[in-house]
A and B are shown apart, each in its own frame.
Chain A
Amino acid sequence: MSAAHTDDNPAKLAEQHIRPNTGDGPVMLQVSDLHMAYGAIRALHGVDLTVRQGQIVTLIGCNGAGKSTTLRSISGMCKPQRGKITLEGREILGLPSHAMVRLGMAHSPEGRGIFANLTVEENLELGAFARRDKSGIAADRERALTLFPRVRERMKQMAGTLSGGEQQMLAMARALMARPRLLLLDEPSLGLAPQIVQTIFKIIREINAAGTTVLLVEQNAHMALNIAHFGYVLEVGRIVMARPAKELAASDEVRKAYLGGH
């Protein structure tokens, strides 16, 4: 079974497209040989990826390629069968997801996961749940609200009454309340109007410029590659391409498969 996988032809072919993420910063997150199956259905067949400090790294791919599963494995939401995940040199695979926040990693889950029946303010307070430093929380709240002025206007409103774009902004603002060094974003553009998507991506860039490393999972490959430093392409549970984002955006394979062939 395992022999069949390693000798698999497409995997070999893909190797020439895979280059290591050699940036300037130290390694923030290192994922190696990650295998994950939901019962009999195998979602990941040995995923390797590196995120360096200060980068925006994006993981693109089609529906069901395993993007969200990779992200969920990193944040401890699901338990991979095999592999190794280190955050700033520290082994984190197997740690419960609630412990990740305290290690400096915040996960903004797919579908936003805002607390609909709580106010926007309460949502933000929950973002800082793992923290006890009151002055630091107040400062980060100010920072998040400066990034997302739309959220500030809605503070007393129930989060469920916000529009889709505002909910996504709230989800990101809430994730920032944990003051993460690494921010995991799962499909922030999902179901949003193109104009809002532009705004969201602009803010992701600002967040990154302010010093937060970002791992971004996206279906909108065009937008994602536009702001990212390095990109990984995931296909049926395998990394098939790994290159600096500019090169990926220019490569024929990616243009055909993910950018609409223009």
Chain B
Amino acid sequence: MKPLAEHIRAITPREAFRPVVMFVPWIVCVLVALGMHTLAPLVVDDYWVNVLRRIGVFIVAAVSLNIVNGFTGQFSMGHAGFMAIGAYIGGGVTYYGSLMLHGSVGDPSFQTHGVLLMLGGVAAAGCVAAGAGYVVGLPSLRLRGDYLAIVTLGFGEIIRVLLELTTKQLYTREEVTLGALFKLPLNGPTGFERIPGYASVFWIFLFASITCLIAYRVKQSSSGRAFLSIREDEIAARAMGVNLTKYKVRAFVLAAFFGGVAGALYAHTGVNPSPTDAGFQRSFDIIIMVVLGGLGSISGSVLAAIILIALPELLRDLQQYRLIVYALLLIIMMLVRPQGLFGVREIWDFFGKKNRPTSKEESNP
């Protein structure tokens, strides 16, 4: 046994600061969220603060879908299905939780507990969505290419129909019993109402930045390498010892988890989640974000989410023509940069040192 002093002397500064350095990215996430929360109301009006919350939700959705469609190259078309599961689970936990614990929903005196309920709901939403992702992904990811697109497309529609079949919402504490909850009182086609808007800019951007951080870490990890190798060449990936099904399912479940988180946050932004939120239209909105930003680029997805949520708002003055302008912009985009805004790269790869030359001429002197 060496004396303790020697052990301490043997610690290099690098090792000593590792615990501190490890938390820095997470602290940055909190700071980003706090910064957005305090600055946003000073810079823009309430309407745009709401748009900002929507942007944050879709950053989570787009970045998570990018793990499947971008990193792993599997074309999932049912991300809205996972979002809707998340929205109903998250909203349900907060709504019925408040009703049971406090007797009413959205009471300001219950705010702190309500926010805690929301966070629990977000976690539950992520887990349930991840479970659904596992069930859907395991059989369909064994098959090649198109089948996943078809199965996930069907999955979104199945969720939509199932949500339409849910029973009427309960509004008083007396009605809420275990038996009644088992009948899924989520208000059918009308949409789940009166979920308190606890997801402030802080919470949304906290989750958005954490999602980006985790996606980035995943991209750098050995799993991430496996994802990318699957996208590039499945046969070669197998030859490297990558278990295709295992890593495809892992990517899919991860994406479903954050899809659920995005949905749960969405439910708390003062909207009424309805079955159409699980439909094809919404899935396609998210896919467009991923493709526009560049398949595999996290910062690209973030920027695309910002543009595609803000643009229709900015074009609101053009009224009925705005959809035409929107479509036109997308077509121009596809013609000019078919690989998306950033391709597979990140925004910082375009600045500073050029360590990834794109063409041979650049590197051959």
Contact = CB atoms under 8 A, between A and B. Distances in A.
B239 A107 contact: yes
Given A99-B241, A115-B228, A117-B231, 5 more contacts: A113-B233, A115-B236, A116-B232, A158-B356, A158-B358
Contacts, number: 90
A101 B358 contact: no
A109 B243 contact: no
Given A129-B226, A158-B358, A161-B357, A106 B232 contact: no
* Residue from A98, A117, A119, A158 whose CB has the most chain B CB atoms within 10 Å: A98
B222 interface: yes
B355 interface: yes
Given A114-B236, A117-B232, A102 B241 contact: yes
B225 A97 contact: no
B240 A129 contact: yes
A77 B229 contact: no
Contacts of B226: 126, 129
A77 B235 contact: yes
B242 to A, nearest CB: 6
Given A116-B232, A117-B232, A118-B232, A109 B239 contact: yes
Contacts of A246: none
A11 interface: no
Nearest to A107: B239
A157 B363 contact: yes
A172 interface: no
A221 B16 CA distance: 60
B159 to A, nearest CB: 32
A83 to B, nearest CB: 20
Given A115-B232, A129-B226, A161 B358 contact: yes
A125 B344 CA distance: 19
A208 to B, nearest CB: 20
13 contacts: A102-B241, A113-B236, A115-B236, A116-B233, A118-B228, A119-B356, A126-B225, A126-B226, A126-B242, A129-B222, A129-B229, A162-B360, A163-B360
B214 to A, nearest CB: 20
Contacts of B228: 115, 117-118, 122
B238 interface: yes
Interface in A101-141: 101-102, 106-109, 113-119, 122, 125-127, 129-130
A15 B344 CA distance: 55
B184 interface: no
Interface in A75-113: 75-77, 96-102, 106-109, 113
Nearest to B225: A126
A42 to B, nearest CB: 22
A57 interface: no
Contacts of B244: 98
A109 B241 contact: no
Contacts of A106: 239
A75 B344 contact: no
Contacts of A96: 238, 243
Q: Which of A109, A113, A125 has the most CB of B within 10 A?
A: A113
Given A116-B232, A157-B363, A97 B357 contact: no
- Of the listed residues B228, B236, B244, B360, the one surrounded by the most CB atoms of chain A closer than 10 A to its CB is B236
B112 interface: no
A115 B244 CA distance: 15
Nearest to A97: B238
Nearest to A112: B236
A101 B357 contact: no
Name the residue in A101, A115, A130, A163 with the highest tally of chain B Cβ atoms < 10 Å from its Cβ.
A115
B359 interface: yes
Interface in B229-266: 229, 231-233, 235-244
B223 to A, nearest CB: 10
Contacts of A174: 240
A162 B176 CA distance: 66
